[in-house]
Chain A
Amino acid sequence: MKETVRITGPAGEPDPTLDELLVEVARGDQDAFASVYDAVCGPVLGLVRSVLRDPAQSEEVAQEVLVEVWRTAARFRPDRGGAMAWVMTLAHRRAVDRVRSAQAASDREYRAALLDHTPAFDSVTEQVEARLEREQVRRCMGGLTEVQRQSVTLAYYRGLTYREVAELLSLPLGTAKTRLRDGLIRLRDCLGVAS
């Protein structure tokens, strides 16, 4: 008995890419938006929650981000990069805006407690695509120095300013600044983000 699994049905057109779907969204296609929603909702919510931590507030901001994807889809240009990156950039900016406006910047205990948290990239999901991405991100994160990794994690996944990162890690401001940049450059090369 062969362990053969046969997927029947016409070969048909390959599934549209996320980039193609987003172009359709810009033309007002709500079905295309539903498909985009399915592809980006988990990553958007996860990233927002990683920054904001509060589940109710995270859901609210994630919804705002997704509605903004719909509203501003015409700004996305497929020739200029990937839809997922575009959406993630939007989500990160929104989450950080919220955390800086809502959270007391003087809440030192909260800030200090952040260092003890398991890095967000360890969070478990069952999606194979997320797993692929996560493995690569984890591997590349592992290639950073400890200070680079902490700087990038605190700034990106926790939404801290580089001044807060410096304070938290007891680094001179200039060092925090360069570690963030060096870390991202190393990640860029490891993840193969080409110019």
Chain B
Amino acid sequence: MSVADLHTLTGAYAVDALDGPEREDFERHLAVCAPCRDEVRELTATAARLGPAASAAPPPGMREEVLRRVATVRQEPPRARPPAGFPGSPVSPASTVGGAGRPRRRTRLVLAACLASAVALGGVAAWQYDRARDARQSAEQAQRRADELTGLLAAPDARIAAGELPGGGSATVVVSRSRDRAAFLAARLPEPPAGKVYQLWFDDEGAMRPAGVVDASGGRAAVMMDGPVAGADGMGVTVEPEGGSAQPTSEPLAVMEFPAA
């Protein structure tokens, strides 16, 4: 096989689509071809991004079994870095996820935490309404809100957009056109100034429609936006006096376009 032919095997190698002797030939070539190593790293990192899309729910008992096994398996000690791009060193291919990848992963983990919080809302929201309402009624209401949120996330046409907030927080909106509802999730929201709250808005082609206020205590929020999505093509967050405003009184802290259906 010519050198030019070997160059084009980077893609096949990155998805483990080379067999036996061909794989060995290509690995020998990799050792002397720095551009090939770079490309293999990038394409292996790309392929790895396809993996989580095939996620499956693990069967019950698997967690206990794996945790039981690792308790008896001796770990490899740290050792010198293996050559780049070689089998047995899945370290190397991922090197290219670099700067852009890290914040994105963090966002996803934070998001997962948000979702866990959303599911656990029941008790918290119940506490919030204890004084105003009958406990049973408020529990039902809280449960309904938590159900709404998880139901929205599970809607087949739910679309998600995530972004960074000024100051380092992250915001996510979830929109389902079929349910005509949207939710707003945020992490690491800075505490608003005294007497102020965060307010959400639907963006109806430039006209801002109030969609509820968010109390960001603890820096986290997971809230259904008030009212239908209707014709809105985006949403915004502003800082408003306590109780909220009928129209934004400040420049938006963040605006996000709704993801396309």
Contact = CB atoms under 8 A, between A and B. Distances in A.
Interface of A: 2-11, 14-15, 17-19, 26, 28, 30, 33-34, 37-39, 41-47, 49-50, 59, 62-63, 66-67, 70-77, 80-86, 88-93, 96, 100, 120-121, 123, 125-135, 137-138, 152, 155-157, 159-163, 165, 174, 177-178, 180-185, 187-188, 191-195
Contact of B49 (A50, A74, A75, A133): A133
Contacts of B117: 7
B9 interface: yes
B119 to A, nearest CB: 10
Nearest first, the 8 A-B pairs at minimum CB distance are A81-B94, A181-B11, A88-B51, A46-B56, A85-B48, A85-B94, A89-B90, A43-B52
Contacts of A67: 66, 69-70, 73
Given A71-B70, A84-B105, A185-B11, 17 more contacts: A14-B106, A33-B67, A46-B54, A50-B54, A62-B62, A63-B62, A63-B65, A67-B70, A71-B76, A88-B47, A92-B51, A127-B115, A128-B153, A132-B111, A137-B49, A138-B53, A194-B98
Interface string B213-236: 111011111111110000000000
Given A7-B124, A81-B95, A123 B90 contact: no
Contacts of A85: 44-45, 48-49, 93-94, 97, 101
B54 A6 contact: no
Nearest to A7: B220
A20 to B, nearest CB: 10
A3 B225 contact: yes
B52 A155 contact: no
B47 A42 contact: no
Interface in B21-57: 38, 41-57
A162 B12 contact: yes
B188 A86 contact: no
Contacts of B217: 6-8
B-side binding surface: helix, strand, loop or mixed? helix
Contact of B63 (A14, A37, A80, A125): A37
- From DSSP, what is the main secondary structure of chain A's interface residues? helix
B166 interface: no
A132 B59 CA distance: 23
Nearest to B52: A43
Given A92-B16, A181-B10, A133 B90 contact: no
A26 B78 contact: yes
Contacts of B59: 59
B71 A30 contact: yes
Contacts of B70: 30, 33, 66-67, 70-71
B48 A88 contact: yes
